[in-house]
Amino acid sequence: MRIGVPAETAAGETRVAATPETVKKLVAQGRTVCVQSGAGVAASAVDDAYAAAGAEIVDAAGAFGADLVLKVQPPSAEELTLMKSGATLVGMLNPFDAEGLQRLAQAGLTAFALEAAPRTTRAQSMDVLSSQANVAGYKAVMLAANQYQRLFPMLMTAAGTIKAARVVVLGVGVAGLQAIATAKRLGAVIEASDVRPSVKEQVESLGARFIDVPYETDEEREAAEGVGGYARPMPQSWLDRQKVEVAKRVAQADVVISTALIPGRPAPVLITEDMVKSMKPGSVIVDLAAGRGPGGTDGNCPLTEAGSVVQKHGVHIVGLTNLPALVAADSSSLYARNVLDFLKLVLPSDATAVQVPMEDDIVAACLMTQAGKVVRS
Ligand code: NAD
């Protein structure tokens, strides 16, 4: 049983799906792990470290030609030609990309998309959305602090007093909570908005203020409960009232970090052009929904340009799309542990081949393609 760890080739991708730490554990189970030369370099894991962990250092064909291939991003068309029909692929494979999944099915792969794991307690240790969103939330604040030409904390100095930065966080899932915690550690004053009522307590426990938009109808209350922990599109009546409250805060904000997403749908527009115009010169928006907005290249703000940092109406808008890749070493180490935990379900230590126990809800949720067919999209 050979496990392959190729180098990622997607633009801007610096992460790797296995680290020397996780390779060592797989090797201890008697697996042969084939790591492509240089696969971990951008994530601070050099070939020698993998070799010391017991890996074979191979070329791309050697890594992609394994029985089980561990990836971060979906393989490119060219990489798919290096994979064996009947092999297993584990990675972040975009469960909502029907065409991409079709290509994996046609290549004869048993493919598991880890983003599709349920948000349950048992799945927490293999929850790649959480592990990577956590890093993204932290890095969003770092990027904002870097763009912002003032300080975050209040400072009383002999040369005068500096006011604390006002930070608004829109969307308080995993990334938003980490953004709040990080901005708080830097001394900012923070307000946050989300559609889900359960978030209020979490926001307040981190020392931030929740932007309350009370629900006025049963339809609003029901939509706000979401499904499976995720948000659902809210009725327009609630969104209109949220917009009024958010607009007031955005106009006073120095930094806005937006992370609002609805699975399988375009990200909601929360920061309109008028709101951007109302912001002070030199303020910063970091739009973590960049590339997922209604226009495809926008995000929670229509002025966001995915992949770029732009200045609009005097406001810096950061639209970088892969923030975890900017923290490659820690993102990879968390991701690799997520992958290792998932493997326990499909490759128990006594198994000689990958198994697909469909009675396991996590395995069933993550399975995307099998025997030439897309089984779930
Ligand atoms: P996400 O990335 O899908 O969305 C980010 C946030 O945007 C969410 O909090 C969502 O409610 C919010 N949002 C959507 N539309 C909005 C709007 N119009 N205005 C403001 N906010 C809006 O979320 P996520 O980080 O993946 O987390 C989703 C849920 O899963 C959360 O409830 C989280 O606590 C839960 N979760 C549970 C577990 C677990 O139990 N194992 C693990 C991770 C996450």
Note the pLDDT of residue 308.
97
Angle of the 236-252 helix axis to the 218-225 helix axis, nearest 10: 70
Q: Which of 161, 178, 157 is nearest to 169 (CA)?
A: 178
pLDDT score for 359? 97
Query: CA triplet 78, 326, 57: central angle to 5 degrees?
Result: 50
Q: Are strands 68-70 and 88-91 parallel, antiparallel or unpaired?
A: parallel
Mutate to test the pocket of ligand 1, among 120, 125, 194 (most ligand atoms within 8 A of CB): 194
**Per-domain boundaries in the chain:** 2-116+347-374, 135-325
Report pLDDT for 264. Answer: 84
Block residue for tokens 């293999």: 126
135-325 has which fold? Rossmann fold (3.40.50)
How many angstroms is it from 230 CA to the middle of ligand 1? 5
Is the domain spanning 2-116+347-374 CATH 3.40.50.2300? The answer is no
Query: Cβ distance 250 to 271 under 8 Å?
Result: yes
Query: Hey, which of 259, 301, 323, 361 would you mutate to test ligand 1's pocket, going by the most ligand atoms within 8 Å of its Cβ?
Result: 259
CA distances from 365 to 27, 100, 231, 368 (A): 27, 17, 19, 8
So which residues are the catalytic ones?
119, 124, 127, 130, 230
> Distance, CA 208 to ligand 1 centroid (Å)?
17
With a 6 Å cutoff on the Cβ, whether 179 touches ligand 1 is no
Could you say which residues of the chain have pLDDT below 50?
377
Strands (E), the chain: 2-5, 32-36, 56-58, 68-70, 88-91, 110-113, 155-157, 160-162, 166-170, 189-193, 209-210, 255-258, 284-287, 309-312, 315-318, 367-370, 373-374
DSSP letter for 352, please. S
Which residues are within 8 A (CB) of 216 and not within 5 positions of it... i.e. 6 or more apart?
237, 238
pLDDT of 228: 76
* 133, two tokens: 């969103």
The protein residue whose alpha carbon is closest to atom 1 in ligand 1 is 261
**Does ligand 1 have an atom closer than 6 angstroms to the CB of 220?**
no
Give yes or no for residue 130 CB within 6 A of ligand 1: yes
The pTM score is: 0.95
Whether the CB of 200 sits within 6 Å of ligand 1: no
Query: 2-116+347-374 and 135-325: same fold?
Result: yes
- Amino acid found at 230: Y
Q: How many CB atoms lie within 10 A of CB 314?
A: 12
How many angstroms does the Cα of residue 104 sit away from the middle of ligand 1? 28
